[in-house]
A and B are shown apart, each in its own frame.
Chain A
């Protein structure tokens, strides 16, 4: 991996993608965090304040969904990710991640499932409550993905003030979690028989992971916010330690050294790291044909660099290009519609959903 990093090639160019047309299809989205396509025309999206809504992209109508779990909307917390069950067409089940208070009044990360029945959620069930209590809802992670075997992966951030706990297995700070759809724990989880380790941990030593992708080949990729510098993209494998905060390429916001080390045996190196930070906020692996030049690339939205990084790997060597920087917007989320059209979600109280039209149109 180190050899790959040494060989890595960085390319930054806007010029070849300047001809994309970008069309705002929805506006005034209030702190929208994630969205998912119900059809080519309809999206289901979350707003951090705790609202779940369906929007039609053609007639712009917006419908509020009832019975959404109560969330703690503060700091970086609130209603976060929404995803559809892989069998959504037959069971109407969706999954939501969010921050809320635990029984001791501390903030933590929750994962719930529910059936989407017209304009309401029914049969809601809390599948997971992170053992990661914190004073302030920050660094929650909260990304959800499905492995090919149908189990759920959930990212649980390091809670900022609790970063050292990312190296311990008795808590959910800085972990990727794996559970079954009913909340039970898969029998083949890597730490299930390890004393004092929580059995739902899949990998550890992470910071604040806000990109999580499972490719068609079944590989799991995540990216995570570093502190000042050291944003990382990792290939996630069960039981592995990704090093935070014992090894890192970043420094603390205060300027302090987090660790003088950037590598150690037994701790994984990132596939790539961004220094200075770009603040990666979401990621997809694009496998459609609408934009041939983007096929088989990771598309990473960024809050600080205000663009989408197109990342490709060839024989372990990565290349990177900057897309859509002409928007000059903090980008929160990216999704491809069922037909393969790309949509970008901008961050903040006046968020927009932007459709990316292929070059030839």
Chain B
């Protein structure tokens, strides 16, 4: 587990930072909606924050991981060859990484501000502050040995968070959720719509619950349950393609990833418990 310490710390700090910065866009958006007399309430606010965290967060996560990997590597070199060291060096590196990533996303890629929360000076400052805290969290993770259960729970929460977003999307915005899976919901028959909505929603809600129960109890059976469902989806996807001649659907790759992830967590728990015995 020691070898994986630094990559795990980068991935974890990036997730922590995304958790901090996606609500900036959500809250600034909600404030604007309220200012034009839209009926913003608790439920609609939660809906916006959770959806943004799941959907925008996934897109942002990759950017933040790359930014942090570069920034923390440079910070590590600086601390090794200079007297500068400690939590503030990584915190500053985190804030620079976020600031640069947001700047380059506009200047090199889109020429427009894709992140709603980054359109104002206040929003920019809050994002950079999020990077600062992310860097601090990175230092916290690398400066002390963590029990393996901390890592299992962290990765399990991350997995559950992704499934929660998918579940919410199928519950609240089924048209968009269907579109993301290549369906035009209104084109399906009423029975087809019903089957699609109930089956997909129950799939994601059930596997979300399995993974949360795995995180709480550290019982590998819960993680295996989620893994089996997605391994099954991947296998039957391939059978559908090659045995029944349906169209090729590369989503089986993600299904195997979603199956492998909790299965790996479950195997780790079993191996660790065996060693302990």
Contact = CB atoms under 8 A, between A and B. Distances in A.
Is the A/B pair a real complex?
A: yes
B207 interface: no
A231 to B, nearest CB: 12
Contacts of B187: 10, 12
B116 interface: yes
Contacts of B4: none
A267 B210 CA distance: 43
Contacts of A276: 179, 184
Nearest to B54: A255
A255 B112 contact: no
B199 to A, nearest CB: 20
A228 B177 CA distance: 12
Nearest to B44: A260
A249 B179 CA distance: 12
Contacts of A135: 111
A58 interface: no
A306 to B, nearest CB: 15
Interface in A239-268: 246, 249, 251-261, 264
B38 A138 contact: no
Interface stretch (A48-56, A121-129, A160-168, A328-336): A160-168
Nearest to A75: B111
Contact of A246 (B25, B33, B52): B33
A136 B47 contact: no
Given A254-B114, A260-B44, A161 B119 contact: yes
Most buried by B among A10, A138, A161, A254: A254
Interface in B100-119: 111-116, 119
Interface string B30-63: 0011001011000010011001101110111000
Interface string B155-186: 00000000000000000010110010000101
B29 A258 contact: yes
A260 B38 CA distance: 10
Contacts of B173: 251
Interface in B194-209: none
A251 B55 contact: yes
Given A167-B36, A246-B38, A264-B38, A252 B116 contact: yes
Given A254-B56, A257-B51, A138 B111 contact: yes
A247 B116 CA distance: 16
Given A161-B119, A229-B179, A260 B47 contact: yes
Contacts of A264: 38-39
B56 A275 contact: no
A325 to B, nearest CB: 14
Contact of B56 (A246, A252, A261): A252
Interface residues of A, number: 28
Give chain B's interface secondary structure class.
helix
Interface string A116-147: 00000000000000000001101000000000
A261 B25 CA distance: 17
B95 interface: no
Interface residues of B, number: 34
B29 to A, nearest CB: 7
Contacts of B17: none
B211 interface: no
A6 to B, nearest CB: 11
A229 to B, nearest CB: 6
A256 B179 contact: no
Contact of B58 (A10, A136, A255): A255
Given A10-B186, A275-B175, A254 B59 contact: yes
B39 A261 contact: yes
B29 A256 contact: yes
B48 A255 contact: no
A65 B39 CA distance: 53
A229 B36 contact: no
A245 B179 CA distance: 21
Nearest to B165: A255
B135 to A, nearest CB: 23
Contacts of B116: 252, 254, 256
Most buried by A among B54, B176, B186: B176
Contacts of B263: none
A317 to B, nearest CB: 13
B26 interface: yes
Given A160-B112, A252-B116, A264-B38, A257 B175 contact: no
Contact of A255 (B29, B59, B111): B59
Given A138-B111, A246-B36, A257 B29 contact: yes
Contact of B112 (A161, A229, A261): A161
Interface of A: 10, 12, 75, 135-136, 138, 160-161, 164, 167, 228-229, 246, 249, 251-261, 264, 275-276
26 contacts: A10-B184, A10-B186, A135-B111, A138-B112, A160-B113, A161-B112, A161-B119, A167-B36, A228-B176, A246-B33, A246-B38, A252-B116, A253-B114, A254-B56, A254-B59, A254-B116, A255-B51, A255-B52, A255-B55, A255-B58, A256-B26, A257-B26, A257-B29, A260-B47, A261-B33, A276-B179
Closest 3 CB pairs of A and B: A255-B55, A276-B179, A256-B56
